[in-house]
Chains A and B, each alone.
Chain A
Amino acid sequence: MSLADFVPFLPEIFLGCAGFIVLLAGIPLGRRGSRPVIALAVAALAATAVLIFLVGRPAAGPQLILGDMLVVDQFAVFFKLLVLAASALALVMAAGYLDRAQYSGGEFASLILFADLGMFIMASGANLASLYVGLELMALSVYVLVGYFKLEVKSNEGAVKYFVLGAASSAILLYGISLIYGTTGSLDLETIRVTLAEVPHQNFLLLLGIALVAFGMLFKVAAVPFHVWTPDAYEGAPTPVTAFISVAPKAVAFAMFLRLFAGTFAGEVEHWRMLLWIASAATMIYGNVAALTQINVKRMLAYSSIAHAGYALMGLVAGSDAGTWAVLMYMAVYAFMNLGAFGFVILLESRGYAGERIEDFAGLARRHPGAAAGMLIFMLGLAGIPPTAGFMGKLYLWAATVEAGYIWLAVISVLMSAVSLYYYFRLVVQMYLKEGDAEDESPAEMLSDRWAGAAIAVCAVMTLAIGLWPAPLVGWAKSGLSALGLV
Protein backbone atom coordinates (compact mmCIF):
# COMPACT_ATOMS: atom_id res chain seq x y z
CA MET A 1 0.00 0.00 0.00
CA SER A 2 1.38 3.39 -0.93
CA LEU A 3 0.25 6.98 -0.84
CA ALA A 4 -0.71 6.73 -4.51
CA ASP A 5 -3.31 4.18 -3.44
CA PHE A 6 -5.27 6.94 -1.77
CA VAL A 7 -5.75 8.96 -4.95
CA PRO A 8 -8.47 6.71 -6.45
CA PHE A 9 -10.00 6.63 -2.96
CA LEU A 10 -10.41 10.44 -2.89
CA PRO A 11 -14.13 10.43 -3.77
CA GLU A 12 -14.85 8.28 -0.71
CA ILE A 13 -12.62 10.40 1.56
CA PHE A 14 -14.32 13.54 0.29
CA LEU A 15 -17.78 12.07 0.79
CA GLY A 16 -16.98 11.05 4.38
CA CYS A 17 -15.64 14.52 5.22
CA ALA A 18 -18.63 16.15 3.53
CA GLY A 19 -20.93 14.07 5.73
CA PHE A 20 -19.35 15.53 8.88
CA ILE A 21 -19.34 19.08 7.50
CA VAL A 22 -23.03 18.85 6.56
CA LEU A 23 -23.78 17.49 10.04
CA LEU A 24 -22.05 20.50 11.63
CA ALA A 25 -23.60 22.96 9.18
CA GLY A 26 -27.03 21.73 10.19
CA ILE A 27 -26.58 22.70 13.85
CA PRO A 28 -26.95 26.50 13.62
CA LEU A 29 -29.89 26.07 11.26
CA GLY A 30 -31.77 23.76 13.62
CA ARG A 31 -35.33 23.34 12.48
CA ARG A 32 -35.60 26.71 10.74
CA GLY A 33 -35.57 25.34 7.24
CA SER A 34 -33.46 22.62 5.76
CA ARG A 35 -32.86 24.08 2.29
CA PRO A 36 -29.37 25.61 2.78
CA VAL A 37 -27.93 22.44 4.26
CA ILE A 38 -29.61 20.23 1.64
CA ALA A 39 -28.14 22.47 -1.06
CA LEU A 40 -24.73 22.01 0.55
CA ALA A 41 -25.16 18.23 0.61
CA VAL A 42 -26.24 18.14 -3.04
CA ALA A 43 -23.21 20.28 -3.95
CA ALA A 44 -21.01 17.77 -2.10
CA LEU A 45 -22.60 14.93 -4.09
CA ALA A 46 -21.93 16.80 -7.34
CA ALA A 47 -18.32 17.42 -6.30
CA THR A 48 -17.95 13.69 -5.53
CA ALA A 49 -19.17 12.87 -9.03
CA VAL A 50 -16.58 15.26 -10.48
CA LEU A 51 -13.87 13.64 -8.34
CA ILE A 52 -14.87 10.21 -9.61
CA PHE A 53 -14.32 11.39 -13.17
CA LEU A 54 -11.02 13.06 -12.29
CA VAL A 55 -9.31 10.29 -10.32
CA GLY A 56 -11.29 7.17 -11.12
CA ARG A 57 -9.47 6.38 -14.38
CA PRO A 58 -11.96 3.58 -15.04
CA ALA A 59 -10.98 3.42 -18.70
CA ALA A 60 -7.50 2.22 -17.71
CA GLY A 61 -8.97 -1.06 -16.47
CA PRO A 62 -9.69 -2.32 -12.96
CA GLN A 63 -7.32 -1.00 -10.34
CA LEU A 64 -6.93 -2.63 -6.91
CA ILE A 65 -6.24 -0.18 -4.11
CA LEU A 66 -5.61 -0.17 -0.36
CA GLY A 67 -4.10 -3.61 -0.04
CA ASP A 68 -6.53 -5.20 -2.52
CA MET A 69 -9.45 -4.18 -0.31
CA LEU A 70 -11.22 -2.13 -2.98
CA VAL A 71 -11.31 -2.19 -6.74
CA VAL A 72 -11.92 0.86 -8.91
CA ASP A 73 -13.53 -0.21 -12.16
CA GLN A 74 -16.29 0.73 -14.59
CA PHE A 75 -18.74 -1.52 -12.76
CA ALA A 76 -18.18 0.33 -9.48
CA VAL A 77 -18.25 3.74 -11.18
CA PHE A 78 -21.61 2.92 -12.79
CA PHE A 79 -23.20 2.17 -9.42
CA LYS A 80 -21.44 5.06 -7.65
CA LEU A 81 -22.83 7.59 -10.12
CA LEU A 82 -26.26 5.96 -9.90
CA VAL A 83 -26.15 6.24 -6.09
CA LEU A 84 -25.08 9.90 -6.31
CA ALA A 85 -27.90 10.73 -8.72
CA ALA A 86 -30.50 8.89 -6.65
CA SER A 87 -29.45 10.46 -3.36
CA ALA A 88 -29.25 13.96 -4.85
CA LEU A 89 -32.79 13.60 -6.22
CA ALA A 90 -34.07 12.18 -2.92
CA LEU A 91 -32.43 15.02 -0.95
CA VAL A 92 -33.92 17.71 -3.20
CA MET A 93 -37.36 16.11 -2.79
CA ALA A 94 -36.87 15.89 0.97
CA ALA A 95 -36.24 19.62 1.60
CA GLY A 96 -39.85 20.76 1.59
CA TYR A 97 -41.07 17.60 3.30
CA LEU A 98 -38.67 18.05 6.22
CA ASP A 99 -39.65 21.70 6.59
CA ARG A 100 -43.35 20.86 6.70
CA ALA A 101 -42.76 18.17 9.32
CA GLN A 102 -40.37 20.47 11.23
CA TYR A 103 -37.44 18.09 11.36
CA SER A 104 -33.89 19.32 10.91
CA GLY A 105 -32.12 18.80 7.60
CA GLY A 106 -28.49 18.56 8.75
CA GLU A 107 -28.65 15.14 10.34
CA PHE A 108 -30.88 13.89 7.55
CA ALA A 109 -28.50 14.98 4.79
CA SER A 110 -25.41 13.74 6.62
CA LEU A 111 -27.00 10.32 7.19
CA ILE A 112 -27.68 10.11 3.46
CA LEU A 113 -24.04 11.01 2.74
CA PHE A 114 -22.77 8.36 5.17
CA ALA A 115 -25.09 5.78 3.63
CA ASP A 116 -23.67 6.79 0.23
CA LEU A 117 -20.14 6.21 1.51
CA GLY A 118 -21.14 2.73 2.64
CA MET A 119 -22.69 2.08 -0.76
CA PHE A 120 -19.53 3.27 -2.53
CA ILE A 121 -17.53 0.69 -0.58
CA MET A 122 -20.14 -1.99 -1.33
CA ALA A 123 -19.96 -1.19 -5.04
CA SER A 124 -16.17 -1.39 -5.19
CA GLY A 125 -15.37 -3.95 -2.46
CA ALA A 126 -12.84 -6.57 -3.56
CA ASN A 127 -12.70 -8.37 -0.23
CA LEU A 128 -15.45 -9.93 1.86
CA ALA A 129 -14.32 -7.80 4.83
CA SER A 130 -14.60 -4.47 2.99
CA LEU A 131 -17.92 -5.53 1.45
CA TYR A 132 -19.28 -6.34 4.90
CA VAL A 133 -18.13 -3.06 6.46
CA GLY A 134 -19.59 -1.07 3.55
CA LEU A 135 -22.86 -2.96 3.83
CA GLU A 136 -23.12 -2.22 7.55
CA LEU A 137 -22.27 1.48 7.14
CA MET A 138 -25.09 1.70 4.62
CA ALA A 139 -27.52 -0.36 6.71
CA LEU A 140 -26.89 1.46 10.00
CA SER A 141 -27.40 4.87 8.37
CA VAL A 142 -30.58 3.64 6.72
CA TYR A 143 -32.05 2.24 9.98
CA VAL A 144 -31.71 5.70 11.52
CA LEU A 145 -33.17 7.38 8.42
CA VAL A 146 -36.25 5.12 8.51
CA GLY A 147 -36.82 6.08 12.15
CA TYR A 148 -35.95 9.73 11.52
CA PHE A 149 -39.41 11.05 12.43
CA LYS A 150 -38.90 9.92 15.99
CA LEU A 151 -42.16 11.37 17.29
CA GLU A 152 -44.22 9.37 14.82
CA VAL A 153 -45.26 5.88 15.84
CA LYS A 154 -45.20 4.55 12.28
CA SER A 155 -41.67 5.76 11.56
CA ASN A 156 -40.36 4.23 14.79
CA GLU A 157 -42.20 0.98 14.20
CA GLY A 158 -40.84 0.68 10.65
CA ALA A 159 -37.31 1.31 11.92
CA VAL A 160 -37.65 -1.26 14.72
CA LYS A 161 -38.83 -3.97 12.36
CA TYR A 162 -36.23 -3.09 9.73
CA PHE A 163 -33.48 -3.03 12.36
CA VAL A 164 -34.26 -6.40 13.95
CA LEU A 165 -34.62 -8.23 10.63
CA GLY A 166 -31.75 -6.33 9.02
CA ALA A 167 -29.33 -7.09 11.83
CA ALA A 168 -30.34 -10.77 11.80
CA SER A 169 -29.79 -10.91 8.03
CA SER A 170 -26.37 -9.27 8.41
CA ALA A 171 -25.45 -11.96 10.94
CA ILE A 172 -26.62 -14.66 8.51
CA LEU A 173 -24.57 -13.10 5.71
CA LEU A 174 -21.58 -12.89 8.02
CA TYR A 175 -21.93 -16.53 9.07
CA GLY A 176 -21.84 -17.41 5.37
CA ILE A 177 -18.71 -15.28 4.95
CA SER A 178 -17.02 -17.08 7.85
CA LEU A 179 -17.79 -20.49 6.31
CA ILE A 180 -16.47 -19.38 2.91
CA TYR A 181 -13.35 -18.09 4.62
CA GLY A 182 -12.90 -21.39 6.43
CA THR A 183 -13.29 -23.55 3.34
CA THR A 184 -11.42 -21.45 0.77
CA GLY A 185 -8.86 -19.97 3.14
CA SER A 186 -9.24 -16.39 1.96
CA LEU A 187 -11.45 -13.32 2.18
CA ASP A 188 -10.12 -11.90 -1.08
CA LEU A 189 -12.67 -12.21 -3.88
CA GLU A 190 -10.15 -12.89 -6.63
CA THR A 191 -8.39 -15.61 -4.60
CA ILE A 192 -11.72 -17.24 -3.78
CA ARG A 193 -12.73 -17.11 -7.45
CA VAL A 194 -9.51 -18.76 -8.58
CA THR A 195 -9.78 -21.42 -5.84
CA LEU A 196 -13.35 -22.25 -6.79
CA ALA A 197 -12.60 -22.27 -10.51
CA GLU A 198 -9.63 -24.65 -10.15
CA VAL A 199 -11.07 -27.21 -7.79
CA PRO A 200 -14.75 -28.11 -8.19
CA HIS A 201 -15.83 -27.91 -4.55
CA GLN A 202 -18.56 -30.13 -3.22
CA ASN A 203 -17.79 -29.22 0.38
CA PHE A 204 -21.02 -28.96 2.36
CA LEU A 205 -19.76 -26.07 4.50
CA LEU A 206 -18.79 -24.08 1.40
CA LEU A 207 -22.18 -24.59 -0.22
CA LEU A 208 -23.90 -23.68 3.06
CA GLY A 209 -21.74 -20.54 3.19
CA ILE A 210 -22.69 -19.52 -0.34
CA ALA A 211 -26.36 -20.19 0.41
CA LEU A 212 -26.22 -18.06 3.58
CA VAL A 213 -24.53 -15.20 1.68
CA ALA A 214 -27.28 -15.52 -0.95
CA PHE A 215 -29.93 -15.27 1.82
CA GLY A 216 -28.29 -12.14 3.19
CA MET A 217 -28.20 -10.55 -0.26
CA LEU A 218 -31.80 -11.56 -1.01
CA PHE A 219 -32.78 -9.75 2.18
CA LYS A 220 -30.98 -6.59 1.09
CA VAL A 221 -32.67 -6.55 -2.32
CA ALA A 222 -36.03 -7.36 -0.63
CA ALA A 223 -36.71 -10.67 -2.37
CA VAL A 224 -39.21 -13.31 -1.23
CA PRO A 225 -39.00 -14.99 1.31
CA PHE A 226 -36.85 -12.30 2.95
CA HIS A 227 -39.15 -9.39 2.11
CA VAL A 228 -41.18 -9.25 5.36
CA TRP A 229 -39.58 -6.00 6.51
CA THR A 230 -40.16 -4.14 3.24
CA PRO A 231 -43.82 -3.03 3.40
CA ASP A 232 -43.58 -1.84 7.02
CA ALA A 233 -40.24 -0.08 6.63
CA TYR A 234 -41.36 1.61 3.38
CA GLU A 235 -44.73 2.68 4.75
CA GLY A 236 -43.37 3.85 8.09
CA ALA A 237 -40.35 5.75 6.83
CA PRO A 238 -40.62 9.44 5.90
CA THR A 239 -41.54 9.37 2.19
CA PRO A 240 -38.23 10.85 0.89
CA VAL A 241 -36.42 8.12 2.84
CA THR A 242 -38.69 5.50 1.29
CA ALA A 243 -37.85 6.92 -2.14
CA PHE A 244 -34.15 6.72 -1.29
CA ILE A 245 -34.06 3.23 0.27
CA SER A 246 -36.22 1.70 -2.45
CA VAL A 247 -33.65 2.77 -5.02
CA ALA A 248 -30.04 3.28 -3.94
CA PRO A 249 -29.47 0.47 -1.39
CA LYS A 250 -31.30 -1.93 -3.69
CA ALA A 251 -29.09 -0.98 -6.63
CA VAL A 252 -25.81 -1.43 -4.73
CA ALA A 253 -27.11 -4.63 -3.14
CA PHE A 254 -27.47 -5.88 -6.70
CA ALA A 255 -23.93 -4.62 -7.42
CA MET A 256 -22.60 -6.68 -4.52
CA PHE A 257 -24.83 -9.61 -5.52
CA LEU A 258 -23.41 -9.52 -9.07
CA ARG A 259 -19.82 -9.13 -7.94
CA LEU A 260 -20.17 -12.12 -5.62
CA PHE A 261 -22.35 -14.47 -7.66
CA ALA A 262 -21.62 -13.57 -11.30
CA GLY A 263 -17.96 -13.04 -10.46
CA THR A 264 -16.56 -14.78 -7.39
CA PHE A 265 -18.89 -17.76 -7.04
CA ALA A 266 -19.29 -18.28 -10.81
CA GLY A 267 -17.48 -21.62 -10.50
CA GLU A 268 -20.29 -22.93 -8.28
CA VAL A 269 -23.07 -21.64 -10.54
CA GLU A 270 -24.77 -25.05 -10.82
CA HIS A 271 -25.37 -25.05 -7.08
CA TRP A 272 -26.86 -21.60 -6.61
CA ARG A 273 -28.71 -21.01 -9.87
CA MET A 274 -31.80 -23.01 -8.85
CA LEU A 275 -31.98 -21.15 -5.55
CA LEU A 276 -32.06 -17.79 -7.34
CA TRP A 277 -34.51 -19.11 -9.97
CA ILE A 278 -36.99 -19.96 -7.21
CA ALA A 279 -36.36 -16.67 -5.38
CA SER A 280 -36.85 -14.69 -8.59
CA ALA A 281 -40.10 -16.43 -9.54
CA ALA A 282 -41.50 -16.26 -5.99
CA THR A 283 -40.56 -12.58 -5.69
CA MET A 284 -42.26 -11.61 -8.95
CA ILE A 285 -45.42 -13.58 -8.12
CA TYR A 286 -45.71 -12.53 -4.48
CA GLY A 287 -44.80 -8.87 -4.98
CA ASN A 288 -47.26 -8.31 -7.79
CA VAL A 289 -50.14 -10.28 -6.27
CA ALA A 290 -49.77 -8.67 -2.83
CA ALA A 291 -49.68 -5.19 -4.39
CA LEU A 292 -53.15 -5.74 -5.90
CA THR A 293 -55.04 -5.29 -2.62
CA GLN A 294 -53.13 -2.38 -1.10
CA ILE A 295 -54.96 0.85 -0.30
CA ASN A 296 -51.89 2.83 0.77
CA VAL A 297 -49.80 4.12 -2.13
CA LYS A 298 -46.49 3.78 -0.26
CA ARG A 299 -47.33 0.19 0.64
CA MET A 300 -48.38 -0.54 -2.93
CA LEU A 301 -45.08 0.87 -4.21
CA ALA A 302 -43.27 -1.21 -1.58
CA TYR A 303 -44.78 -4.41 -2.98
CA SER A 304 -44.06 -3.13 -6.48
CA SER A 305 -40.41 -2.63 -5.51
CA ILE A 306 -40.33 -6.24 -4.24
CA ALA A 307 -41.64 -7.31 -7.64
CA HIS A 308 -38.97 -5.26 -9.43
CA ALA A 309 -36.24 -6.99 -7.41
CA GLY A 310 -37.69 -10.23 -8.79
CA TYR A 311 -37.39 -8.98 -12.38
CA ALA A 312 -33.77 -7.93 -11.83
CA LEU A 313 -32.96 -11.32 -10.26
CA MET A 314 -33.77 -12.87 -13.65
CA GLY A 315 -30.55 -11.32 -14.93
CA LEU A 316 -28.57 -13.08 -12.21
CA VAL A 317 -30.24 -16.40 -12.99
CA ALA A 318 -29.38 -15.98 -16.67
CA GLY A 319 -25.81 -15.51 -15.48
CA SER A 320 -24.54 -14.47 -18.90
CA ASP A 321 -22.97 -11.16 -19.88
CA ALA A 322 -26.30 -10.09 -21.31
CA GLY A 323 -28.02 -10.89 -18.02
CA THR A 324 -25.46 -8.93 -16.04
CA TRP A 325 -25.61 -5.69 -17.99
CA ALA A 326 -29.38 -5.99 -18.16
CA VAL A 327 -29.40 -5.85 -14.34
CA LEU A 328 -27.21 -2.71 -14.37
CA MET A 329 -29.49 -1.14 -16.95
CA TYR A 330 -32.64 -2.13 -15.05
CA MET A 331 -31.39 -0.70 -11.77
CA ALA A 332 -30.68 2.67 -13.43
CA VAL A 333 -34.06 2.72 -15.15
CA TYR A 334 -35.94 1.61 -12.03
CA ALA A 335 -34.20 4.30 -9.95
CA PHE A 336 -35.60 7.18 -12.00
CA MET A 337 -39.12 5.73 -12.33
CA ASN A 338 -39.46 4.90 -8.66
CA LEU A 339 -37.98 8.18 -7.40
CA GLY A 340 -40.38 10.07 -9.64
CA ALA A 341 -43.41 8.13 -8.42
CA PHE A 342 -42.45 8.70 -4.78
CA GLY A 343 -41.84 12.38 -5.59
CA PHE A 344 -45.55 12.83 -6.26
CA VAL A 345 -46.46 10.96 -3.07
CA ILE A 346 -44.20 13.42 -1.22
CA LEU A 347 -45.99 16.41 -2.74
CA LEU A 348 -49.55 15.20 -2.28
CA GLU A 349 -51.09 16.55 0.85
CA SER A 350 -54.54 15.87 2.15
CA ARG A 351 -56.11 17.89 4.95
CA GLY A 352 -52.72 18.59 6.44
CA TYR A 353 -51.68 14.95 6.29
CA ALA A 354 -49.58 13.21 3.72
CA GLY A 355 -51.90 11.94 1.02
CA GLU A 356 -50.94 8.30 0.99
CA ARG A 357 -54.24 6.63 0.19
CA ILE A 358 -54.96 5.72 -3.38
CA GLU A 359 -58.25 7.68 -3.18
CA ASP A 360 -56.24 10.82 -2.46
CA PHE A 361 -55.25 10.79 -6.11
CA ALA A 362 -58.90 11.02 -7.25
CA GLY A 363 -59.59 13.80 -9.71
CA LEU A 364 -55.99 14.88 -9.84
CA ALA A 365 -56.04 15.16 -13.63
CA ARG A 366 -58.70 17.89 -13.44
CA ARG A 367 -57.02 19.94 -10.72
CA HIS A 368 -53.36 19.34 -11.58
CA PRO A 369 -53.09 18.05 -15.16
CA GLY A 370 -49.29 18.34 -15.21
CA ALA A 371 -48.84 16.26 -12.08
CA ALA A 372 -51.28 13.64 -13.29
CA ALA A 373 -49.45 13.39 -16.62
CA GLY A 374 -46.14 12.99 -14.76
CA MET A 375 -47.54 10.26 -12.52
CA LEU A 376 -48.93 8.57 -15.64
CA ILE A 377 -45.41 8.44 -17.13
CA PHE A 378 -44.00 6.79 -13.99
CA MET A 379 -46.87 4.31 -13.73
CA LEU A 380 -46.43 3.36 -17.40
CA GLY A 381 -42.71 3.01 -16.77
CA LEU A 382 -43.10 0.81 -13.70
CA ALA A 383 -45.64 -1.34 -15.54
CA GLY A 384 -43.14 -1.66 -18.40
CA ILE A 385 -45.08 -0.11 -21.26
CA PRO A 386 -43.31 1.48 -24.24
CA PRO A 387 -42.07 4.10 -24.97
CA THR A 388 -40.86 4.41 -21.36
CA ALA A 389 -37.55 3.23 -19.95
CA GLY A 390 -39.29 0.52 -17.93
CA PHE A 391 -40.12 -1.33 -21.13
CA MET A 392 -36.53 -1.21 -22.41
CA GLY A 393 -35.18 -2.40 -19.07
CA LYS A 394 -37.54 -5.39 -18.99
CA LEU A 395 -36.92 -6.15 -22.66
CA TYR A 396 -33.18 -6.66 -22.10
CA LEU A 397 -33.85 -8.81 -19.02
CA TRP A 398 -36.31 -10.97 -20.96
CA ALA A 399 -33.91 -11.29 -23.88
CA ALA A 400 -31.08 -12.42 -21.60
CA THR A 401 -33.33 -14.87 -19.72
CA VAL A 402 -34.73 -16.48 -22.87
CA GLU A 403 -31.28 -16.61 -24.45
CA ALA A 404 -29.95 -18.47 -21.39
CA GLY A 405 -32.77 -20.98 -21.77
CA TYR A 406 -34.95 -20.04 -18.80
CA ILE A 407 -38.12 -19.68 -20.82
CA TRP A 408 -40.48 -20.39 -17.92
CA LEU A 409 -38.96 -17.67 -15.78
CA ALA A 410 -39.45 -15.19 -18.63
CA VAL A 411 -43.05 -16.40 -19.05
CA ILE A 412 -43.75 -15.88 -15.34
CA SER A 413 -42.33 -12.37 -15.51
CA VAL A 414 -44.41 -11.45 -18.56
CA LEU A 415 -47.57 -12.75 -16.86
CA MET A 416 -46.74 -10.92 -13.65
CA SER A 417 -46.07 -7.69 -15.59
CA ALA A 418 -49.61 -8.03 -16.90
CA VAL A 419 -50.88 -8.42 -13.32
CA SER A 420 -48.94 -5.32 -12.31
CA LEU A 421 -50.85 -3.29 -14.90
CA TYR A 422 -53.92 -3.66 -12.68
CA TYR A 423 -52.54 -1.92 -9.62
CA TYR A 424 -50.54 0.73 -11.45
CA PHE A 425 -53.60 1.61 -13.50
CA ARG A 426 -55.80 1.70 -10.41
CA LEU A 427 -53.92 4.90 -9.60
CA VAL A 428 -54.29 6.19 -13.17
CA VAL A 429 -58.05 5.47 -13.08
CA GLN A 430 -58.31 7.42 -9.81
CA MET A 431 -56.50 10.39 -11.33
CA TYR A 432 -58.32 10.53 -14.66
CA LEU A 433 -61.73 8.97 -14.21
CA LYS A 434 -62.72 9.61 -10.58
CA GLU A 435 -63.89 12.99 -9.35
CA GLY A 436 -63.11 12.59 -5.67
CA ASP A 437 -65.71 12.70 -2.92
CA ALA A 438 -68.27 15.42 -3.60
CA GLU A 439 -68.92 16.04 0.11
CA ASP A 440 -65.21 16.31 0.78
CA GLU A 441 -64.58 20.07 1.02
CA SER A 442 -60.80 19.87 0.91
CA PRO A 443 -59.57 17.18 -1.43
CA ALA A 444 -55.94 16.18 -1.48
CA GLU A 445 -53.79 18.94 -2.92
CA MET A 446 -50.56 18.80 -4.84
CA LEU A 447 -48.24 21.15 -3.01
CA SER A 448 -46.09 23.37 -5.15
CA ASP A 449 -42.45 22.93 -4.26
CA ARG A 450 -40.07 24.11 -6.95
CA TRP A 451 -37.22 21.87 -5.76
CA ALA A 452 -39.21 18.68 -5.64
CA GLY A 453 -40.89 19.62 -8.92
CA ALA A 454 -37.52 20.00 -10.62
CA ALA A 455 -36.35 16.63 -9.25
CA ILE A 456 -39.51 14.94 -10.50
CA ALA A 457 -39.06 16.59 -13.90
CA VAL A 458 -35.53 15.16 -14.12
CA CYS A 459 -36.90 11.69 -13.32
CA ALA A 460 -39.64 12.04 -15.95
CA VAL A 461 -37.22 13.23 -18.63
CA MET A 462 -34.85 10.35 -17.84
CA THR A 463 -37.69 7.81 -17.89
CA LEU A 464 -38.73 8.94 -21.37
CA ALA A 465 -35.22 9.60 -22.72
CA ILE A 466 -33.86 6.17 -21.77
CA GLY A 467 -36.99 4.60 -23.18
CA LEU A 468 -36.61 6.33 -26.53
CA TRP A 469 -32.83 6.27 -26.77
CA PRO A 470 -31.37 3.51 -24.59
CA ALA A 471 -28.10 3.09 -26.54
CA PRO A 472 -25.81 5.28 -24.38
CA LEU A 473 -26.92 3.67 -21.11
CA VAL A 474 -26.66 0.18 -22.61
CA GLY A 475 -23.14 0.92 -23.82
CA TRP A 476 -22.18 2.24 -20.42
CA ALA A 477 -23.69 -0.74 -18.60
CA LYS A 478 -21.86 -3.13 -20.93
CA SER A 479 -18.56 -1.42 -20.22
CA GLY A 480 -18.93 -2.45 -16.56
CA LEU A 481 -18.67 -6.15 -17.33
CA SER A 482 -14.94 -6.71 -17.75
CA ALA A 483 -14.46 -6.13 -14.03
CA LEU A 484 -16.33 -9.27 -13.09
CA GLY A 485 -14.07 -11.63 -14.95
CA LEU A 486 -16.90 -12.50 -17.30
CA VAL A 487 -15.61 -11.26 -20.61
Chain B
Amino acid sequence: MIDATHYVVLSLILFCLGLIGVMVRRNFITVLMSLELMFNAVNLNLIAFSFRLSDLAGQVLAIFVITVAAAEAAIGLGLIIALVRLKDTVALDEADVMRG
Protein backbone atom coordinates (compact mmCIF):
# COMPACT_ATOMS: atom_id res chain seq x y z
CA MET B 1 0.00 0.00 0.00
CA ILE B 2 1.41 3.36 -0.99
CA ASP B 3 0.73 6.11 1.57
CA ALA B 4 1.81 9.72 2.07
CA THR B 5 5.20 8.69 3.48
CA HIS B 6 6.24 7.21 0.15
CA TYR B 7 5.32 10.45 -1.59
CA VAL B 8 7.30 12.47 0.94
CA VAL B 9 10.38 10.29 0.34
CA LEU B 10 9.98 10.60 -3.43
CA SER B 11 9.51 14.38 -3.24
CA LEU B 12 12.53 14.68 -0.93
CA ILE B 13 14.65 12.79 -3.49
CA LEU B 14 13.39 15.01 -6.34
CA PHE B 15 13.94 18.14 -4.27
CA CYS B 16 17.52 17.16 -3.43
CA LEU B 17 18.23 16.33 -7.08
CA GLY B 18 16.96 19.79 -8.03
CA LEU B 19 19.00 21.48 -5.30
CA ILE B 20 22.16 19.63 -6.36
CA GLY B 21 21.44 20.60 -9.95
CA VAL B 22 21.18 24.29 -9.02
CA MET B 23 24.45 24.08 -7.10
CA VAL B 24 26.66 22.10 -9.50
CA ARG B 25 25.34 22.84 -12.99
CA ARG B 26 26.86 25.88 -14.70
CA ASN B 27 24.48 26.10 -17.64
CA PHE B 28 21.76 28.64 -16.86
CA ILE B 29 19.09 26.67 -18.73
CA THR B 30 19.89 23.47 -16.82
CA VAL B 31 19.74 25.48 -13.60
CA LEU B 32 16.25 26.70 -14.56
CA MET B 33 15.19 23.10 -15.15
CA SER B 34 16.59 22.10 -11.75
CA LEU B 35 14.64 24.93 -10.12
CA GLU B 36 11.50 23.65 -11.80
CA LEU B 37 12.23 20.20 -10.36
CA MET B 38 12.43 21.71 -6.87
CA PHE B 39 9.07 23.44 -7.27
CA ASN B 40 7.45 20.27 -8.59
CA ALA B 41 8.81 18.25 -5.67
CA VAL B 42 6.96 20.72 -3.44
CA ASN B 43 3.79 20.27 -5.51
CA LEU B 44 3.98 16.50 -5.13
CA ASN B 45 4.30 16.95 -1.37
CA LEU B 46 1.38 19.38 -1.19
CA ILE B 47 -0.92 17.15 -3.22
CA ALA B 48 -0.01 14.01 -1.27
CA PHE B 49 -0.63 15.76 2.05
CA SER B 50 -3.81 17.33 0.73
CA PHE B 51 -5.08 13.85 -0.24
CA ARG B 52 -4.17 12.34 3.12
CA LEU B 53 -5.71 15.21 5.10
CA SER B 54 -8.80 15.39 2.84
CA ASP B 55 -8.17 19.14 2.78
CA LEU B 56 -8.27 21.20 -0.42
CA ALA B 57 -5.96 24.00 0.72
CA GLY B 58 -2.84 22.07 -0.29
CA GLN B 59 -4.06 21.54 -3.85
CA VAL B 60 -5.00 25.21 -4.15
CA LEU B 61 -1.50 26.18 -3.03
CA ALA B 62 -0.07 23.73 -5.60
CA ILE B 63 -1.91 25.59 -8.36
CA PHE B 64 -0.50 28.87 -7.06
CA VAL B 65 2.98 27.34 -7.04
CA ILE B 66 2.62 26.21 -10.67
CA THR B 67 1.54 29.73 -11.66
CA VAL B 68 4.35 31.43 -9.78
CA ALA B 69 6.90 28.94 -11.15
CA ALA B 70 5.77 29.85 -14.67
CA ALA B 71 6.28 33.55 -13.94
CA GLU B 72 9.65 32.74 -12.41
CA ALA B 73 10.68 30.79 -15.53
CA ALA B 74 9.62 33.72 -17.72
CA ILE B 75 11.87 36.07 -15.79
CA GLY B 76 14.69 33.52 -15.81
CA LEU B 77 14.46 33.17 -19.59
CA GLY B 78 14.37 36.97 -19.93
CA LEU B 79 17.59 37.18 -17.94
CA ILE B 80 19.12 34.44 -20.15
CA ILE B 81 18.31 36.48 -23.27
CA ALA B 82 19.91 39.56 -21.74
CA LEU B 83 22.95 37.48 -20.72
CA VAL B 84 23.32 36.01 -24.23
CA ARG B 85 23.06 39.45 -25.83
CA LEU B 86 25.74 40.85 -23.54
CA LYS B 87 28.16 37.93 -23.34
CA ASP B 88 27.07 35.41 -25.98
CA THR B 89 26.95 32.60 -23.42
CA VAL B 90 24.55 30.80 -21.10
CA ALA B 91 27.28 29.63 -18.72
CA LEU B 92 26.94 31.05 -15.23
CA ASP B 93 30.73 30.81 -14.78
CA GLU B 94 31.11 33.61 -17.33
CA ALA B 95 29.20 35.98 -15.05
CA ASP B 96 32.22 36.90 -12.94
CA VAL B 97 32.81 40.63 -13.29
CA MET B 98 32.21 41.26 -9.60
CA ARG B 99 34.35 39.60 -6.97
CA GLY B 100 35.27 39.89 -3.32
Where the two chains meet, the residues of A that have a C-beta atom closer than 8 Å to any C-beta of B are: 128-129, 132-133, 136, 140, 143-144, 147, 150-151, 153-154, 156-161, 163-164, 167-168, 170-172, 174-175, 177-179, 181-182, 185-188, 205, 231-232, 235-236, 293-294, 299
Contact = CB atoms under 8 A, between A and B. Distances in A.
Contacts of B55: 185-186
B95 A167 contact: no
Interface residues of B, number: 45
B31 A164 contact: yes
A174 B71 CA distance: 16
Given A156-B83, A178-B42, A187 B57 contact: yes
B100 A160 contact: no
B70 to A, nearest CB: 11
B61 A163 contact: no
A295 to B, nearest CB: 8
Contacts of B68: 132-133, 136, 140
Contact of A174 (B28, B65, B76, B79): B65
A156 B86 contact: yes
> Which secondary structure characterizes the binding site on chain B?
helix
B57 A186 contact: yes
Nearest to A166: B72
Contact of A157 (B72, B78, B85, B95): B95
A163 B49 contact: no
Contacts, number: 123
Contact of A175 (B42, B58, B87, B96): B42
B41 A175 contact: yes
Contact of B100 (A156, A168, A236, A294): A294
A182 B79 contact: no
B38 A171 contact: yes
A174 B39 contact: yes
Interface in B80-100: 82-83, 85-87, 92, 95-98, 100
A207 B45 CA distance: 16
Contacts of A154: 97-98
Given A140-B71, A156-B83, A167 B35 contact: yes
Interface of B: 4, 8, 11, 15, 18-19, 22, 28, 31, 35, 38-39, 41-42, 45-46, 48-49, 52-53, 55, 57-58, 60-61, 64-65, 68, 71-72, 75-76, 78-79, 82-83, 85-87, 92, 95-98, 100
24 contacts: A129-B57, A132-B61, A132-B65, A143-B79, A147-B82, A153-B97, A154-B97, A157-B95, A157-B98, A163-B75, A163-B76, A164-B22, A164-B31, A168-B38, A171-B15, A174-B42, A175-B15, A177-B61, A178-B11, A178-B45, A178-B46, A182-B48, A182-B52, A231-B98
A178 B83 contact: no
A164 B92 contact: yes
Contact of A167 (B76, B78, B86): B76
Given A160-B28, A178-B45, A181-B57, A147 B79 contact: yes
Nearest to A164: B31
A136 B71 contact: yes
A432 to B, nearest CB: 26
B72 A167 contact: yes
A132 B39 contact: no
Nearest to A188: B57
Contacts of A168: 19, 22, 35, 38
